[in-house]
Structure 1
Amino acid sequence: MATFEKRSGAWRARVRKSGVDRTETFRTKAEAQAWATQLEAELASERRGEIPEHKTFGDLLERYAAEVAPNKRGGDKELLRIAATRQRDIAKVKLRDLDERHVSKWRDDRLKEVLSSSVLREWTTLSHVCTTAVRDWRWLKTNPFLVARRPAGQPARKRRPEGNELDRILHALGYSEESPPMTKTARVGAAALFAIETAMRESEIARLRWCDITGRVARVVQSKTDDEAHQGRDVPLSSEALRILSRLPRRDGDEAAACFDVPAKSIDALWRKGKAMALVDGLTFHDLRREATTRLAKKLDVLTLAKVTGHRDLRVLSRVYYAPDMGEVAERLD
């Protein structure tokens, strides 16, 4: 049932029905009544399993952006992808007409503009939007992204630091063994070396606090692959990792402070800047995770390695993050 209340010269409408509680403010009571009537009709259609007649894919994206994405870890990236998609032709398609042909057209257009890896990330977001529409809102009968052909993925990256690339980048960042890393850029250099020792992601390193470290173990409180059954992980620290931590500036008594005191976005931005100054092409901060995994694979069995890196799918671990030098492997055969 809709209720209306006048506040400070404006009309506030509230609809509470079928477990939904929404409010909006309008200039006139007539506008508030029209909104409430339309919303109640939509809710009634949802209960009957009818696809809203006038809703477009853009409307679906707008609802998902307002109700679902803000509550998800990584929702900020979803919001960016959704905002971009709402500017494209597929956003104008009525939900009653939406099918795999529109998805295929969107896919082919995007592949002309960006790499398939970017299209796949957008695909995952948009597919979840449609799944939500099917399961929770009844705005779609089926998910067209499950019918259309997914774009082929890019070959797994194999990039690792080569030659003196890492030393050049560390120099550009101002990191030196001669003095503690006091500046933010120097601490990014320390974070890079720590990543190679631990295989931790840049976001995990950025969130690491002094209170998360006990003895020779660092507790990753929140990981990219966490779900209800898997919350965080423990990462063993080598002697070199402990040495890197010991060189960081630290305020006495502030155990909740971040060890490296650099946000994840700044780590990525400063790494890119240092890489450009060092004239190194293509080596991302995330590539250091591959370097670390390859080094750790020489010391740990595969199940222990997966525990350290946080991989639950061993196929991803071997295909993407483990990049051994086959020349070295050949020598080990003799």
Structure 2
Amino acid sequence: MGTIIERRTKRGEVKFQAKIRLAGTPIISKVFDSRADAEAWIAAVEPEMRARSRTAAREQAVAKQVREFRDRPRIVADLLHRNLCEVTPFKKGAEAEVNHTRSILKYPLTRIHLENLTQRDVREWRDKRSQHVAPSTVNRELNILSAVFKHAASEWDIALCKSVLTSVKRPPNPPGRVRRLSRQEEAALRRAGEETRNPYVLSIFDLALETAMRRSEILGLEWERISFERRSIQLITAKNGTPRGVPLSRRAMEILRALQQIAARELGHECAVTSGPVFPGLTVNAFKLAFTRMVQRAGLENFRFHDLRHEATSRLFEKGLSQMEVSTITGHKDPRMLARYTHLQVKDLAAKLD
């Protein structure tokens, strides 16, 4: 806390020395000509020091927790907490992994000692979890557990039974979702988009239908990655980790040209904008809320933004593109992921049999 000491110099002048002492931070002091100035300095500086002190205390607590997990992991939760501190933050899907890990930590499985962990414990967790979430969610969380156990064994030198997860049967995933968008629904969405206050929602909607790009890929677009001469977008950080080029249709080019003009007007530039984000200031959460309201106004049911990627992929097949050409555009590495769209080519195959 702050204190003020009145001192008299050799010349007989009265000075006021203000000192601030807080646990975990160095003592700071300053000399003033008046008590009022000293009090004002303490009032201005002390809150900032207290905030830094609290931050330092939290950092020390986290570091201590990490050291404890590193030195003597006892239960499954110890590994999951250490993974959240050291591994998860550096992953592309960090936010989703944090949420899944927090869900896992709510179950008794995480309070079992590592030496006593068995397949039966994992199976019991799997069965209980399956009562509340979809099979795909259970499998994602099993993947997280598997990755944490493997990392603990290979990087943290923590002995674990390798067969704990390898022989646990996973619930079958449901068939891939394909929610088509009818022309009437598309028109309703456009009308709803014109009424939204967010100026980017309709443009993002159109880009999704024209390019089959993911939401994260569109929201993260930068003008440096767009080539109007080559009619393409070069994605550097795609979901699967592999860069890819996305060809642009004439409609997609029109959308991007219009966005470029809007950006130039807002910045007061006479020339076209060639750098920076395409959608400046638009957060993922803000877009989610705006798109949800747009779907509700349009009166659509059971429709998500990712369904636009499915619709765009279906339209690529309907244009006559081959599976290899479509996968090049969409970035699907596994051809089996496109198997759900093969019915769109049946009529073309039948024509070839004539």
Same fold (TM over 0.5): yes
Where do 5+ consecutive residues of structure 2 fail to align? 1-20, 26-58
Which has the higher Rg, Structure 1 or Structure 2? 2
Cα separation, 2, equivalents of 1:71 and 1:327: 43
Task: Verify: 1:221 aligned to 2:236, yes or no.
Answer: yes
SS, match of residue 234 in structure 1? strand
In structure 2, relative to structure 1, the CA distance for the partners of 1:330 and 1:152 (3 Å cut) is same
Larger helix percent: 2
Cα separation, 2, equivalents of 1:209 and 1:165: 30
How many correspondences in the alignment? 285
TM-score relative to the length of structure 1: 0.76
Task: Verify: 1:235 aligned to 2:246, yes or no.
Answer: yes
Q: Which residue of 2 aligns with 1:270?
A: 290
SS, match of residue 247 in structure 1? helix
Equivalent runs, 1:267-306 vs 2, <5 Å: 267-297=287-317, 298-306=319-327
* Amino acid in the other structure paired with 1:109: K
Q: Which residue of 2 aligns with 1:89?
A: 108
**Residue range with higher mean Cα deviation, 54-63 or 247-256:** 247-256
Q: Which residue of 2 aligns with 1:21?
A: none
Cα separation, 2, equivalents of 1:136 and 1:62: 15
Q: Which residue of 2 aligns with 1:312?
A: 333
CA contact (8 A) 2:314 2:344 kept: no
CA contact (8 A) 2:193 2:202 kept: yes
Instruction: Indicate the RMSD between aligned Cα atoms, in angstroms.
Output: 2.9
Q: Which residue of 2 aligns with 1:201?
A: 214
**Which of 193, 197, 204 is equivalent to 1:191?**
204
CA contact (8 A) 1:134 1:143 kept: no
CA contact (8 A) 2:76 2:113 kept: yes
Q: Which residue of 2 aligns with 1:211?
A: 224
Cα separation, 2, equivalents of 1:156 and 1:192: 22
Task: Verify: 1:109 aligned to 2:128, yes or no.
Answer: yes
Cα separation, 1, equivalents of 2:85 and 2:23: 26
**Which of 58, 71, 96 is equivalent to 1:77?**
96
1:324 deviates by 4.5
1:65 deviates by 0.7
CA contact (8 A) 1:217 1:235 kept: yes
Cα separation, 1, equivalents of 2:335 and 2:184: 31
Task: Verify: 1:260 aligned to 2:260, yes or no.
Answer: no
CA contact (8 A) 1:202 1:267 kept: no
SS, match of residue 245 in structure 2? strand
In structure 2, relative to structure 1, the CA distance for the partners of 1:203 and 1:143 (3 Å cut) is farther
**Residue range with higher mean Cα deviation, 79-88 or 295-304:** 295-304
Q: Which residue of 1 aligns with 2:46?
A: none
Cα separation, 2, equivalents of 1:133 and 1:158: 38
Q: Which residue of 2 aligns with 1:48?
A: none
SS, match of residue 116 in structure 2? coil
* Amino acid in the other structure paired with 2:289: A
Q: Which has the higher contact order (CA 8 A, sep 6+)?
A: 1
**Which of 82, 99, 116 is equivalent to 1:63?**
82
SS, match of residue 235 in structure 1? strand
Equivalent runs, 1:133-172 vs 2, <5 Å: 133-139=152-158, 140-142=160-162, 144-172=164-192
Per-residue CA deviations over 1:61-81 (Å, capped at 9, x if unaligned) read 111111111111111221121
* Amino acid in the other structure paired with 1:234: G
1:143 deviates by 5.4
Cα separation, 2, equivalents of 1:102 and 1:94: 11
* Amino acid in the other structure paired with 1:281: E
**Which of 151, 166, 190 is equivalent to 1:132?**
151
SS, match of residue 200 in structure 2? helix
Cα separation, 2, equivalents of 1:279 and 1:193: 18
Q: Which residue of 2 aligns with 1:47?
A: none
CA contact (8 A) 2:323 2:338 kept: no
